[in-house]
A = this chain, B = another copy of it.
Amino acid sequence: MTIETLVAGVKPADAAAIAAARARQAQLTKPAGSLGVLEELSVRLAGMHGGMPPAGYARRALIVMAGDHGVAADGVSAYPSEVTAQMLHGFLGGTAAICAIARSCGVRVYVADLGVKGHGIDDPRLMMLNVGRGTQSIARGPAMLREQAQRALERGAEAFARVAYEGVDLFALGEMGIGNTTPASAITAAATGRSAQEICGRGTGIDDARLARKREIVAQAVARVAPDADGVTLLAELGGFEIGGMAGAMLAAAGAGIPVVLDGFIATAAALVAQRLAPQIIEWMIAGHRGAEPGHAHALAHLGLRPLLELDLRLGEGTGAALAMPLVDAAARTLREMATFAEAGVSEAV
């Protein structure tokens, strides 16, 4: 599937369904507005589904996309790149944080290699979608070739297609990639127009010296990119393979009419890439969690999304998105399953 086809597939939400859902929420047996952000979320979901959301969102799925980053060798991370490959075993073995949390939230977890340096894993459950053995360092030039950026987007869409074949009502992306808060910071700075100073944070927990180096690298990398650069350029210059894969999967999911729950800072950077390619994709996105990374708040504000959770997570892997999925279902169920004042014979406010 070409990127043009993916972009053209993302349709606006259904305005009539939105209006009908808003009218119904106002008649349900509760004081108007008393379900807070769940009410507006239920209305948005109706717009995405063109009517009532599916019962129970029973088929919840999440792909953890992994990739390595040349910039990890430039002293911006607390962990060595080898950890990316090591963690693939944890995702496949069910012992990583996202696996424990996904079991709790009724979410199927898929694992995809979009650009890990090397791992030697031979497991049919690992989606082999490798675009390159780690990116080049954005400290010295573009992260990848333009052709690789396009391929990462397309392979992300392929990954979604596999999930869709097995059935999905609610979808999310997670990621693993040592060093990837640096490219995510660069993409966020470029897409929002904010400075590296405002965007960069400590990621998984770096010290002051590494943070200063990270800011310097991000500022220099962003300076190479024109403010109105297209999405493929943003990704090629500043990105990561797993970030491109996530953006491609988001486009494919939205095109298939499936709501996309955003995870942490890295997944939100992928959403910024997807937005640059197809601005209307925002209507299909739900912000799951806002973490401590300063750029995350700026990215969500740029997307115009309010997060459902704020739990100080800074892990990625899709943890924040998975935790938000039961809330999305709960919002939908209030719209589907509650009685109106008229149906219930309950007195309204005087």
Residues of A at the B interface (CB closer than 8 Å) are 28-38, 56, 78-80, 82-83, 86-87, 89-90, 93-97, 99-101, 103-105, 204-205, 291-292, 308-315, 319, 322-323, 326-327, 329-330, 333-334, 336-339, 343-350
Which of B28, B29, B95, B337 interacts with A344 by CB under 8 Å?
Answer: B95
For residue A78, give the distance in angstroms from its CB to the closest CB of chain B: 4
- Please report the C-alpha to C-alpha distance between residue A313 and residue B309 in the assembled complex, in whole angstroms: 14
- Please report the C-alpha to C-alpha distance between residue A316 and residue B321 in the assembled complex, in whole angstroms: 25
- Please report the C-alpha to C-alpha distance between residue A101 and residue B35 in the assembled complex, in whole angstroms: 11
Asked if A34 contacts B314 (CB within 8 A), the reply is: yes
Instruction: Determine the residue in chain B with the shortest Cβ distance to A80.
Output: B347
Asked if A104 contacts B326 (CB within 8 A), the reply is: yes
| Contacts A330-B100, A336-B100 given; does A315 touch B86 at CB 8 Å | no
Question: What residues on B are CB-neighbors of A345 within 8 Å?
Answer: 86, 89
| Contacts A100-B336, A345-B86 given; does A38 touch B313 at CB 8 Å | yes
Question: What residues on B are CB-neighbors of A103 within 8 Å?
Answer: 56, 333, 337
| Contacts A79-B350, A329-B104 given; does A30 touch B205 at CB 8 Å | no
Asked if A333 contacts B205 (CB within 8 A), the reply is: no
Question: What residues on B are CB-neighbors of A37 within 8 Å?
Answer: 311-312
Question: What residues on B are CB-neighbors of A319 within 8 Å?
Answer: 35
Asked if A97 contacts B35 (CB within 8 A), the reply is: yes
For residue A105, give the distance in angstroms from its CB to the closest CB of chain B: 6
Asked if B86 contacts A34 (CB within 8 A), the reply is: no
